[in-house]
Structures are given as structure tokens and as C-alpha cells.
Amino acid sequence: METHRDIPTNTLDNVLLAAAALSSSNLFVVSGAGLAIPVIPPMDVIVRLGISAYHQIGSYPARQAPQTEIRERLLPPRSLFDHAERWKGFLLCGVYDEALAAFFQRHIYRPIEESAPANYRIFNFVPPPAVLFDFNTDALLANYCEPPHIVLNPHGAIERRIIEHPEFEQFLRAAAEFGLALPNSSGLWLPGPELKTITRRNEYKFATERLSRPAEFLLLIGYSFGRQPNGNIDDDESFEFLGELLKRFHRQIVVVDPCPEHVSGLFEDRLRQRICACKLYWNHFAEAGCLAMAETPDAPNLFCLSRRIAQVYDERTR
């Protein structure tokens, strides 16, 4: 169910809600792909990059691959024939799942920069230690924000050292030709429906302990719980996990997303409480917040600079 209630109609009111959460103690953040855009592209772009990379290698297994969950996400049927030369789509019908997984990991990998992008740098102004429950698997939030914050990756993370190896391109070719799989020491969960047992992972146990502590806010940034075109969500186990905890340990939920209605509606249905929905692009909000803090370095928190943040946000999004 989607709701259109409680979504402010002007930028300042949206910013006030998000900045209030970011200025609070013991903040618990739940983040998805929207936190990383445009540092990491959205899924439709990642799919196109994977197809393009496969064509560059030019090696196609002579087989008909079974339809699996990972193929549905990383090589959906509608993408196979989005080419000027439709015959290329038929060549992709035998692609190994292991190759799709390897290309996906390469395309969400980014080297760690000396200065963090604003999407992550804004957490420098959040009272530590916040808990960042990050469903992105690129490991950027952990590299940029821990310490002083605590970053949990419930879906695991890519093997950055392997991807950075100078001969990684040779591995990609082996994955494409023979279905060689990347090592997976962190329990990386690739796009697709969650297992029923995923909430047994240690990250969820730690999250349970932290959410049981008294605090005012849970901030949800750019995370749809893996919403699919048919309206279903892939991350149903994680949604139920959070829903059950938030019933027991009440917090004000603030959703930051360009289209927050869906997730706000999910939680309103689940918890029967008012959800604060902020219609904001995280990258522009973060850039505005970092600029405002740079202009006023002695400001105690982001909330007191909300008016300036809203002004900069409007300038960047006109």
C-alpha cells in the first residue's frame, strides 16, 4: 500500500525532518541503493554495463542457461533484445550465473578516494556512534564511515582485494567462458529474494541489540527493500525483521527518497504509526549539508543549518 500522507510540500520542511534525524543521538540508519547514487549507478544501468562488458569479451557459452533469480535481476528478458542488432540477444542466452555475478561486482566497485563523496561525508556531522545498516554491497559506507560509526552489511560485501588485483580481467574472461565463481568470504547476497534464514546472520543480531536501546529516530535512505516491477519486494525477511523490532522498540521513522510513498506505506501498514516521508535526492541533500557545514564550521549540527541546506538543495535541483 502506498501513502501520500505526511509528505511536506516544500523543501525546507523535508530538510528539517532529515536534518533532525541526522542530528540525533544513537541514530539507526537503514540504507539502500539510493544512498550511493550517482557514485554507484542504478540497477538498470548496471544491467546494461554487464551486457556491454560481455559483448566486449566476445565469448558466449553454447548452451541454454536455466532461468534463475540472479538472471531475472541481472539479465532480465526485456534487456536481452535491447540492441540495434537483435541477434546479439540470442548469444546471451547461455551466460553463466557466475559470470553475471562477477560483472555485477566489478560494476559496483569503486576505489576508495582520499576525500569521501558527499553521500558518505555527511555522516561526519552525525553524532557518533550511529549504526549504519547498509544493504549496499559495495563496502563504500564501511570504508568511509567506520570509525567513528558502526557499519553493518547484512547482505555482505564485494571482494575488493580480488577486484583490485591486476589480473582480475583474466578472471572475468574465465568466468564468462567457464562459469568460474568469485570467492565469497563475506557472505555476499546477490540481487534476488532473501533466504528465510538470512536474519540469523550476526549483523541482524547486532542490529537487534542496538535497536533495543532508547533513541528517537530510525532514518531510512534510498531503500525499497528490493521492490520489483510487480510490486513484490525481494528483501521481505529484512522488512519483517525491522517491522517486528520497531513494534517492540518504538522510534520515529524518517524515509528519505525521491519517491518515499511506497516504503512509507509499507511501514504505516506494518506498524500503524505515522511515518515521516521526505521527498529528497540523497546526493543533493548530502552535498548541500556538507557545503552548509563548511560555510559554518562551528555549527553544532545539521539541523540548525536546515534553512541554508534547503536553499542550496533548491539551487542544485532546479
Tens of each residue's pLDDT in the chain, 318 residues = 444 456 888 999 999 999 999 999 999 999 999 999 999 999 999 999 998 888 888 888 888 889 899 999 999 887 777 665 677 788 888 999 999 999 999 999 999 999 999 999 999 999 999 999 999 999 999 999 999 999 999 999 999 999 999 999 999 999 999 999 998 988 999 999 999 999 999 999 999 999 999 999 999 999 999 999 888 999 999 999 999 999 999 999 999 999 999 999 999 999 999 999 999 999 999 999 999 999 999 999 999 999 999 999 999 998
Q: What share of the chain is helix, strand, coil (3-state, %, to 5)?
A: 50, 10, 40
Residue partners of 176: CB distance under 8 A and separation at least 6: 54, 57, 59, 95, 96, 99
pTM: 0.94
Domains of the chain: 11-40+115-154+201-317 (3.40.50.1220), 42-109+159-186 (no CATH)
Q: What is d(CA 18, CA 219) in angstroms, rounded to the nearest whole number?
A: 8
DSSP-assigned letters across all residues of 269-286 = HHH-S--EEEE--HHHHH
